[in-house]
Structure formats: structure tokens, C-alpha cells
Amino acid sequence: MSKTKAFFIHFGVSLMVVSTLLAVMLLLWYPQPYFKAFEALDIIKVLIGVDLVLGPALTLVVYKPAKKSLWFDMSCIAALQVAALIYGTAVIYQQRPYFVVFAADRFEILARSEVDEAEIDSPALRDKPWGRPILAVAKMPEDPQARRQLIEETLFGGKPDIERRPALWRPYASEQRQVLNRARPLQELETSQPATGATVRAMTERYGTALKYVPVIGKTRAYALVLEPDTLRPVDIIDADPFGGSG
């Protein structure tokens, strides 16, 4: 087998494996609209670089049919690719958006590893929908003393805020009034940030003019999470900071 043929076979197998992983990732682990907010593209770039570029390129360099150490060399390349694939897949899976929690005036996207599921009271928040994260609303305690204690713990005790306290979460469907009170018409985002105009117009043409948005905290910064007006379900994300900065 020639060096060129070995390269293309290696590239084809690598392409098939990476494409399968990307399909699973986009359809099940990071469905629309959470892929952008979780900035998963950075991990994908590493996977593509190692498994789709570096591996076949090394084959092109080292492959010589009569070489005595050929099987050893190819085994080392394969081991490198498999290790990178296993590590990348594990990171992608563990960090996938598992909970999307509304608190006060914004959503926060959380990976499963960031949440102590033993603290979740509602059975409805334990069953993850197929291909979608669990939606929840975090509520302040109604008891004044408990509310005061929570605020003190958050401000002075180093404890997490309500969006990271599963015991305070409630099912999204039963608490949508809180979200509705904070949601703003999507056209207001275009007014405050004209650079989003083309994106806003494209979304209104696709989903209708009654769309709303709420800030959402991604991995490193804020985005505008676009909500369907009737169910208030997330349908898209705009790469712009609703708090003032532009994306």
C-alpha cells in the first residue's frame, strides 16, 4: 500500500469517528441553543487538530511499507489519537449543559458536575429530557429569617447564590411568571445594541415578532437567550451581552 493511500484511509477513518462524535454532541449533549454559550468549539478544535489533522499527517510522514518498525510507529499514532479522543469526549460529556436555571433576572447554564443532585427536592428536576437540559427556576425562601440567612451566607459566608442551590429550585413550568416578568421584547436588544439588528430580524422572521430575551451566563460571559413567547422555552442565543457589552 502506498503512503498516499495509507494517508487517505487513516483520514477517512478519523473523519468518520470525529463526525459521529460531533453529531452526538450537537444533537444530544449541546443542543441548540446551548452550544455557543458553553463555548464547546474550543474543545472541538483540539479534537479536530489531533484526530483529524495530526494523526493522518503523522501517517503520511512515517509510513513506509518496508519499514521494520512500521507497526510500532502506527500503533503509537493510533494510541495518541485514541487517548485524545477519550479525553476530549470525557470532558465534552462531563461539561455538557445539564441544568438551565433562572434566578432573579438571568439564566445560568450549569454542568451536572457543578450541582449536588442530592439537594434537589422536586422529582420533576431529576428526569432530564432527551436531548435537552433540565429547566428550573430558583426561588428565594419565603420565610424572612431563612431569606436573611441565605443573603448573609452568600454575601459574607462564601456560599453559592440561589442558582447553585438545588434545594431552592422549582420546576420551570410552574414558575414561568418570574421569567415573564423579567423577559424583554427582542426588539429592545436591537435598539440598545444596533449590531444585533440583522440577527434579531432573522430570528423574528423565523419564529415571529413576539420573541423575548433574558440574559444568560455562559462559560465566560453573558449572552442573550431568546425565548419563545408562549412557552418561554429557549430557542436561540444571540452573541451579545445584554448587560451592556457587545459580543
For 85-141, the pLDDT digits (tens) are 888 888 888 888 899 999 989 999 998 888 888 999 888 898 888 888 999 999 998
| 220 three-class SS | coil
The amino acid that residue 117 corresponds to is E
The model's pTM is: 0.81
Looking at residue 45, the DSSP 8-state letter turns out to be H
| Helix and strand element counts for the chain (H, E) | 9, 8
Contact 99, 110 (CB under 8 A): yes
Position 81 pLDDT exceeds 50: yes
Helices 70-94 and 3-24: angle between axes, nearest 10 degrees: 10
Three cell numbers at 62? 512515517
3-state DSSP: the chain helix, strand, coil percent, rounded to 5?
55, 15, 30
Q: Left, alpha or beta for 157 (phi > 0: left; psi -120 to 50: alpha)?
A: alpha
| Angle at alpha carbon of residue 238, lines to 235 and 241, rounded to 5° | 130
For residues 12 and 53, the answer to whether their CB atoms sit within 8 Å is no
**Angle, helices 70-94/55-62, rounded to nearest 10 degrees:** 170
CA 124/CA 94 separation, integer angstroms: 22
Q: For 5-59, what is each residue's pLDDT tens digit?
A: 888 898 898 899 889 988 888 888 888 888 877 777 777 787 788 788 888 888 8
